[in-house]
């Protein structure tokens, strides 16, 4: 009887193993598979799984940062194309595909506070503006002329997106203050007029009014950067310089207190620029106790340096959040497999393994000429391309990169430990709030790689083609 009972128990235990299977979603460098669902793979007792040269162990007991989400920017150019080129049905289908769980379920959106290098008018022509423009030589310290009307294409679209997905996180970042607040009256370059102390107080009020005005239109702004790319200016499009000491003082003495006084719960995020100088900027802002108290964390772009710089910032300021808020592909490299591999190792896997709680690309949508533009990058690529003549939509490599995470990793998930083989099988893993697990793996090598995935005493084998990525969920 005892032997029979043991045999029955053994059968049920084996059934438990076999009922535990992983869903598989694959994108290959040759584009034969584009976030395509594959046959499920069953876990089995590890002693029954063959040995493999590479074993990826997933350890849910070792946890790291909480994940806010994945997404891209709704620029003026993107909003123009989506609102004016697409038919209502095409627009609805695109928003469903991008922002709901019927598609890739992205939930993190950045937009420019005022104009950027992708801001256009109702005809798609370049347009630079702020929310408080006055003639050169004039001032408006009481912000009586404040209006977000020039942003209507953007905030109306953001409202529609929020109706599709209640978990949308909105992140605003200014490319320039109103020109009359700057040392030189211009959108393109210069810096805040530090000779006039009232300018800083007024500019803090400008942020408050922007958040309140967006809220009146039904759009809740969750976080703001103080300045987009504060260490770079251009004469070609809206930009403004703001060094770390200036940003520290502005947050500590003006912006933080203004938010506090007006009960603004929107988070303040510093930097919003490249990895290579992030730690120095963090030390300037977060190294100050008062500025640190007002600042949620640091935002980074991908255009210089390495993602490991974010780990340096995390180790110096472990209680602060880290975001990757901009990166763009472009026509300088159109090889799908190479781009997928770069995006995986630097953005999706490299970003989250280095403590980023969000990963964002740049424009949601551009046209086949990489526009319309307002003087910035002449050959940047959108996450999708919209043909203005037909309304046809092409999903680009950035779409599939993001989709490997956004479709499966839920807001509030935490990163968990996984074995990582640099330049071979690179991985990152997550545990969702419901306890389900997600493992993303990328093969950066020139040949197919076979590896084992193991959690506790269960495992399975998988072969991943060169320059390809796969997401497993269980």
List, for residues 431-443, the tens digit of each pLDDT value. Answer: 999 999 999 999 9
Determine contact, residues 110/118, Cβ cutoff 8 Å. no
Q: Sign of the C-alpha dihedral, residues 68, 442, 20, 452?
A: negative
Confidence of residue 19 (pLDDT cuts 50, 70, 90): low
Contacts 24+ apart (CB under 8 A), 288-294: 288/248, 288/252, 290/252, 290/256, 291/248, 291/249, 291/251, 291/252, 291/256, 292/317, 292/320, 293/256, 294/251, 294/252, 294/255, 294/256, 294/259, 294/260, 294/268
Euclidean distance between CA atoms 67 and 71, whole angstroms: 12
User: If you average pLDDT over every residue of the chain, what do you get?
Assistant: 95
Q: What percent of the chain has pLDDT over 90?
A: 95
Cβ-based burial of 157 (10 A; exposed 0-12, middle 13-18, buried ≥19): buried
Q: What is the pLDDT of residue 11?
A: 39
Query: How far is it, in rounded angstroms, from Cα 96 to Cα 396?
Result: 17
For the stretch 419-467, pLDDT in tens is: 999 999 999 999 999 999 999 999 999 999 999 999 999 999 999 999 9
In the set 326, 357, 431, 467, the catalytic residue is 326
Tokens of 291: 């500025």
Does residue 65 carry a pLDDT above 60?
yes
Cα–Cα dist 43/452, whole Å: 11
pLDDT at 18: 39
Give the pLDDT score at 57.
98
Integer Cα distance of 295 and 303 in angstroms: 24
pLDDT of residue 7: 42
Cis peptide upstream of residue 382 (ω within 30 degrees of 0):
no
Say what percent of the chain tops pLDDT 70: 96
**Number of helices and strands (H, E) in the chain?**
13, 23
Active-site residue among 229, 395, 458, 467? Answer: 229
Taking the C-alpha atoms of residue 406 and residue 99, their distance in angstroms, rounded to an integer, is 9
pTM, entire model:
0.94
Residue 257: burial class (beta carbons within 10 Å; 0-12, 13-18, 19+): middle
The dihedrals phi and psi of 420, each to the nearest 5 degrees, come to -130, 125
What does the pLDDT average to over 45-72?
A: 96
Helical (H) or strand (E) element with 200: helix 197-216
Whether 235 is catalytic is no
> Is 70 strand, coil or helix?
strand
Cα separation, 221 vs 225, whole angstroms? 11
**Neighbouring C-beta atoms of residue 421, cutoff 10 Å:** 18
Average pLDDT over residues 165-179: 97
| pLDDT > 50? residue 86 | yes
Residue 160 a catalytic site member: no
Looking at residue 17, its pLDDT comes to 37
The mean pLDDT value for 319-331 works out to: 98
Cα separation of the two ends of the chain: 36
Tokens describing residue 406 = 């956004």
Q: Provide the token pair at 378.
A: 């002449």
Q: Residue 4 — pLDDT band, cuts 50, 70, 90?
A: very low
Decide if pLDDT at 327 tops 50: yes
Alpha-carbon gap, residue 380 to 327, rounded angstroms:
10
Cα 242-158-160 angle, rounded to 5 deg:
180
Could you tell me if 370 and 380 are in contact, meaning their C-beta atoms sit under 8 angstroms apart? Answer: yes
3-class secondary-structure state, position 234: coil
Provide the pLDDT for residue 13. Answer: 37
Label residue 8 by pLDDT band (50, 70, 90): very low
Written as six digits, the tokens of 45 are 């007792």
Cα angle, residue 458 at apex, residues 454 and 461 outer, rounded to 5°: 55
């Amino acid at each position: 009887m005892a032997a029979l009972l043991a045999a029955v128990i053994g059968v049920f235990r084996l059934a438990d193993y076999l009922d535990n299977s992983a869903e598989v979603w694959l994108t290959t460098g040759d584009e034969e598979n584009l976030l395509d669902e594959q046959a499920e793979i069953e876990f089995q007792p590890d002693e029954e799984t063959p040995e493999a040269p590479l074993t990826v162990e997933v350890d849910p007991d070792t946890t790291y940062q909480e994940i806010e989400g994945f997404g891209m920017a709704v620029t003026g150019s993107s909003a123009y194309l989506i609102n004016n080129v697409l038919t209502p049905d095409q627009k609805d289908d695109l928003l469903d595909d991008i922002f709901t769980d019927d598609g890739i379920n992205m939930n993190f959106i950045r937009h420019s506070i005022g104009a950027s290098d992708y801001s256009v008018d109702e005809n798609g022509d370049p347009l630079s503006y702020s929310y408080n423009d006055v003639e050169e030589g004039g001032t408006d310290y009481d912000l009586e002329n404040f209006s977000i009307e020039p942003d209507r294409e953007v905030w109306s679209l953001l409202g529609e997106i929020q109706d599709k997905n209640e978990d949308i996180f909105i992140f605003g970042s200014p490319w320039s203050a109103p020109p009359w607040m700057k040392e030189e009256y211009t959108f393109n370059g210069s810096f805040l007029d530090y000779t006039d102390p009232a300018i800083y107080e007024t500019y803090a009020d400008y942020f408050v009014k922007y958040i309140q005005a967006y809220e009146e239109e039904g759009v809740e702004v969750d976080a703001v950067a103080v300045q987009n790319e504060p260490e770079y200016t251009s004469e070609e499009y809206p930009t403004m310089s703001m060094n770390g000491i200036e940003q520290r003082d502005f947050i500590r003495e003006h912006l933080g207190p203004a938010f506090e006084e007006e009960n603004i719960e929107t988070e303040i995020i510093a930097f919003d620029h490249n990895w290579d100088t992030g730690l120095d900027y963090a030390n300037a802002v977060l190294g100050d106790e008062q500025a640190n108290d007002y600042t949620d964390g640091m935002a980074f772009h991908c255009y210089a340096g390495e993602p490991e710089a974010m780990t340096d910032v995390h180790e110096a300021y472990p209680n602060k959040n880290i975001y990757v808020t901009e990166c763009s592909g472009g026509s300088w490299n159109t090889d799908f497999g190479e781009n997928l591999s770069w995006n995986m190792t630097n953005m999706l896997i490299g970003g989250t393994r280095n403590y980023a709680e969000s990963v964002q690309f740049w424009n949601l949508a551009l046209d086949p000429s990489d526009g319309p533009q307002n003087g910035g990058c002449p050959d940047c690529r959108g996450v999708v391309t919209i043909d203005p003549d037909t309304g046809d939509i092409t999903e680009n490599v950035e779409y599939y990169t993001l989709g490997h995470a956004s479709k499966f990793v839920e807001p509030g998930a935490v990163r968990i430990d996984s074995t990582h083989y640099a330049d071979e099988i690179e991985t990152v893993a997550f545990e969702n709030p419901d306890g389900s697990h997600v493992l993303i793996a990328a093969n950066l090598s020139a040949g197919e790689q076979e590896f084992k995935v193991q959690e506790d005493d269960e495992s399975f084998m998988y072969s991943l083609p060169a320059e390809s990525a796969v997401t497993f969920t269980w």
